[in-house]
Amino acid sequence: MKLKTVNEKALTSCSASQQMLAKTTREGVETAFHRALKKKPCPYGVGGTCCRICYMGPCRVSDNAPGAATGVCGATAETISARNFGRMIAAGAAAHSDHAREVALTFLAAARGEAPGFEIRDEEKLRAVAAELGIEAAGKNKNRLAEEVGLKLLAEFGQQEGELHFIRRAPAKRQEVWQRLGVIPRGIDREIVEMMHRTSVGVDQEYVHLMRHGMRTSLADGWGGSMIATELQDILFGTPVPIRAKVNLGVLKADQVNIIVHGHEPLLPELMVAAAKDEELLLAARGVGANGINIAGICCTANEILMRKGVPVAGSVLQQELAIATGAVDAMVVDVQCVMQGLGTVARCYHTELFTTSSRAQIPGAIHLEFNHENGFEVAREIIRRAIANFPKRRAVEIPTEEVDLVAGFSHETINYMLGGRFRASYRPLNDNIINGRIRGVAAVVGCSNPRVRFGDLHTTIVRELIANNVLVLVTGCAAINCAKEGLLIPEAAELAGSGLREVCEAVGMPPVLHCGSCVDNSRLLVAGTAIVKEGGLGEDLSEVPVCGCAPEWMSEKAICIGQYFVTSGVTVGFGVAFPATGSEKFSDYLFGGIKEHVGATWFFEPDPMAMARQIITILDEKRKALGIDVARERVLYDMEMRRKLEVV
């Protein structure tokens, strides 16, 4: 296929990706970037006012177009937009929560000795979570205790009444807000199902009321499914601690069998990392001329095994096809979420074997080897054996040289420990440095990569501007990977930070940008924010703390759900690229303003990265002013105190 020449530099700021884009264009291999250039977004769909929930339509509705003010049933733009937004929240919550369900089932099997290769690794966290759930630990070994924890959390998926346990982690003032609004989730699956029912034809037709349940559904993810996934994965695989590794396509090795794991569930990849060290398989690799077996990750599976095993990261979601284009990937193993169907076509252009492994997902032309917790090691070994057999079939190999150092693995527990030490672990130093002005506030930069923008550039532009203005940045998902590729996830990046943040980073020995995990690990940020509140001095609720979130390059329904559970928790969130509510003036006005009356936070939309960074800084400064800790005043007082101490010395 002859493809139209593309301007690679205009599509991505990553030079390794530019090299592979030029290669695929030369070779006539179509990728997501080529397809995005050919396909224009639907002007109604992009604003959220295309309704297809029944077949009296589908209807495209606009506030301004004559004769298009309502759908056939009379639904207005704000109702249609709110329904679509609610369905995106439900889909995102379902994705994260189904991930959590699979983890919970494997966790239970491991506790019962029914999952070879899996074991309870963090007993300290197990006991802490058990105590939080009201489970007595005395006299029980770790497996019996884990079984009780697993059963209690698994029950929350089908629970019909009551409240999710982890909701109680939120600040008391925030829980009061949720009680008043009636949005505390009763059960994870119940809220997702009810959201789908409310948004079906002829049911809920008032946009604020629809969003009230959207709040509830999002909390079922953030304080439910995602948090359960994070906690159980930590107990099962080990709570992350800071670890050094490498990132970008240069982590692929020309002289080794390369296997890429991609998706979101770390269950099989954990076993593959272990199996790749098996001497029998290493001997087989040497037998076909390879010097070893190299496992590398893409997307959130990459983040999961990176922060626990130090496994190198080949790239973010938009590099999945480009990795295959190197000609050096002998097998790609995918499970669920963010996996492009185009992988099958690209793999056929090279020698790569593509494996699907989840009962939930298959791709035409891929080899399906289904993983479950009973056969995990056998599946892992079979994939590695097939990758080894595929190694001699390589044709031309072109691997970019770019591989960059990063430090990952900043869990809530790690941050607590780094700031205060083992015996006085505390967020007090962070709170004090926000109060005295060394740190202006905290911003979470999260979410996907999107081929509609210059991918990676939005994340890194915003992050550079934030840290230069003394904002501590927490990153997850593909945003974390994109920042890592630009050298922002190492302690040396403190040189790019403002004087106050740089001083704190150098004292602690941490980067100014902290890798906090995968998409489901955004729940860690909720826990961290709550810890700041509980430490004292920065308000009584998340809505009062100088924190803000953004997803500049988002593309997934999961991002909408994540954004909504942060807003519902009191944290203002900004999105770039486009926003799926701008087709309705009433509904977008509510999300960008009116919702603050209910939850103390809003959404905002800003596609320009520098403007988004400035807006985040303004939000942080307004929160500081409300707390009486003005940035300039506190910084002057701090500098005066430092000069006085130097004069004394």
The span from the CA of 427 to the CA of 429, in Å, is 6
- CA 506, distance to chain mean position in Å, is 27
The pLDDT value recorded for residue 420 is 60
The pLDDT value recorded for residue 416 is 75
The pLDDT value recorded for residue 421 is 54
Pairing status of strand 404-408 against strand 243-247: antiparallel
CA Rg value for the chain: 24
Instruction: Give the contacts of 471 (CB within 8 A, at least 6 positions apart).
Output: 439, 440, 441, 442, 443, 501, 616, 617, 620
The span from the CA of 618 to the CA of 603, in Å, is 14
- CA 201, distance to chain mean position in Å, is 32
Q: Which H or E run contains 575?
A: strand 573-575
pLDDT along the chain (649 residues), means of 10: 86 96 96 94 88 92 79 94 98 98 98 96 97 96 98 98 97 98 98 98 96 98 98 97 97 98 97 97 98 98 96 98 98 98 96 97 96 95 98 97 96 75 71 95 96 96 98 98 98 97 93 96 95 95 98 97 98 97 96 98 98 98 94 53 52
The span from the CA of 34 to the CA of 20, in Å, is 12
pTM above 0.85, yes or no: yes
The pLDDT value recorded for residue 415 is 80
- CA 269, distance to chain mean position in Å, is 18
Please state, as a whole number, how many other Cβ atoms lie within 10 Å of the Cβ of residue 100.
30
The pLDDT value recorded for residue 649 is 45
